[in-house]
């Protein structure tokens, strides 16, 4: 999604001269077009993420809308205090952009993984968190972030294009909703691609499964989404994030508050490093049961009568 992000930012920078872009010494061979368009509004803050967010807050106080870009673990964890105190409490238009969420940086190991970011950021004051599942969602999300003009975090990954006939309802996107659905799958970000791959591998499952992605937090369950759940009340959540503070935990609270009680509830999540080894993103997804074959198996288990 980095290419789509760069192209969308370039267009936005031409339209809005209040946009400032600050990078933490990252984005080479990807953001040069943006640097050329922005000129002095493109700033390389160096490997100094805490200072970068403090500077961004200063620009925002003066009326600018500021994007702070780095790989996800650096933009989330290194400057959490500055984002919380300088940006969130003051409700400023500073937008964190993290590339390679979840296990995106693979073999580089835990220091480069971001599997606790929703837990860290979605509970901050005034913050909207955005997790596109598909590459073509990036531009409209960026435009919405700027229009909202409040603190935001955008988690980028590697996504395909949105399936045909998908539509947004509240904070979710409904991407597969057959009339005969018995199970509702909620996916976070590009894991939705694994879910759709699982359904394509099993023709018998596809007519029995709703698939929704959580596009942004805080979650908003509309009447339409509630109706889908009530009709297919066995729920599977798939996310490249730990269980604490993730989609499954936040969704379960929303469901209980609305008086929606699933027939069954299964959470597939980032399991960390159960064998103490590092590998590719695909490797870690497999260990966590987030690969297509594992998703098929878990959906099958939900279909077994209690």
CB 221 within 8 A of CB 254: yes
- pLDDT digits 0-9 by tens, 76-135: 999 999 999 999 999 999 999 999 999 999 999 999 999 999 999 999 999 999 999 999
Domain range spanning residue 129? 2-156
Residues 27 and 140 in one domain: yes
- pLDDT digits 0-9 by tens, 3-42: 888 889 989 988 999 999 999 887 677 688 888 888 899 9
Q: For the chain, count helices (H), then strands (E).
A: 12, 13
CB 155 within 8 A of CB 98: yes
pLDDT of residue 247 exceeding 70, the answer is yes
Separation CA 42–CA 31 (nearest Å): 10
pLDDT value at residue 306: 53
The first and second tokens of residue 212, run together, are: 């929704």
Q: Please state whether the predicted TM-score (pTM) of the whole model is above 0.85.
A: yes
pLDDT value at residue 97: 96
The first and second tokens of residue 221, run together, are: 């369950």
Residues 32 and 133 in one domain: yes
Instruction: Tell me what the pLDDT averaged over the chain comes to.
Output: 94
- Tell whether 197 is covered by a domain: yes
Residues 56 and 182 in one domain: no
pLDDT value at residue 38: 87
pLDDT value at residue 119: 96
- Percent of the chain scored above 90 by pLDDT? 82
pLDDT value at residue 305: 63
Residues 79 and 209 in one domain: no
- Tell whether 193 is covered by a domain: yes
Residues 192 and 56 in one domain: no
Q: Where a domain ends, among 103, 136, 156? A: 156
The first and second tokens of residue 90, run together, are: 């003051």
CATH number for the domain spanning 95: value is 3.40.50.970
Residues 175 and 256 in one domain: yes
The first and second tokens of residue 41, run together, are: 């509004």
As beta bridge partners, residue 107 has: none
Separation CA 21–CA 70 (nearest Å): 11
């Amino acid at each position: 999604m980095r290419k789509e992000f760069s192209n969308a930012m370039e267009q936005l920078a031409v339209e809005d001269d209040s946009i400032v872009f600050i990078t933490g010494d990252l984005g080479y061979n990807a953001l040069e077009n943006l640097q050329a368009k922005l000129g002095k509004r493109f700033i390389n803050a160096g490997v100094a993420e805490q200072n970068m967010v403090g500077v961004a807050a200063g620009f925002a106080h003066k009326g600018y809308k500021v994007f702070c870009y780095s790989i996800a673990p650096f933009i989330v964890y290194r400057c959490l205090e500055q984002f919380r105190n300088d940006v969130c409490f003051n409700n400023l238009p500073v937008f964190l952009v993290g590339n390679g969420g979840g296990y995106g940086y693979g073999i580089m190991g835990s220091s480069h993984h971001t599997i606790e970011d929703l837990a860290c950021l979605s509970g901050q004051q005034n913050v909207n968190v955005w997790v596109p599942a598909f590459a073509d969602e990036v531009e409209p999300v960026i435009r919405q972030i700027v229009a909202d003009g409040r603190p935001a975090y955008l988690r980028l990954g590697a996504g395909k294009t949105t399936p045909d006939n998908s539509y947004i309802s509240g904070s979710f996107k409904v991407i597969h909703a057959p009339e005969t659905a018995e199970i509702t799958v909620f996916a976070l970000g590009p894991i939705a691609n694994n879910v759709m791959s699982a359904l394509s591998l099993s023709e018998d499952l596809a007519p029995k499964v709703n698939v929704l992605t959580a596009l942004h937090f805080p979650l908003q369950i509309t009447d339409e989404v509630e109706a889908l759940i009530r009709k297919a009340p066995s729920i599977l959540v798939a996310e490249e994030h730990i269980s604490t503070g993730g989609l499954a935990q936040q969704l379960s609270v929303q469901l209980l508050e609305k008086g929606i009680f699933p027939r069954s509830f299964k959470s597939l999540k980032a399991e960390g490093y159960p064998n103490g080894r590092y590998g590719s993103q695909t490797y870690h997804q497999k260990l966590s049961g987030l690969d297509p074959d594992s998703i098929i198996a878990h959906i099958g288990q939900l279909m077994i009568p209690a």
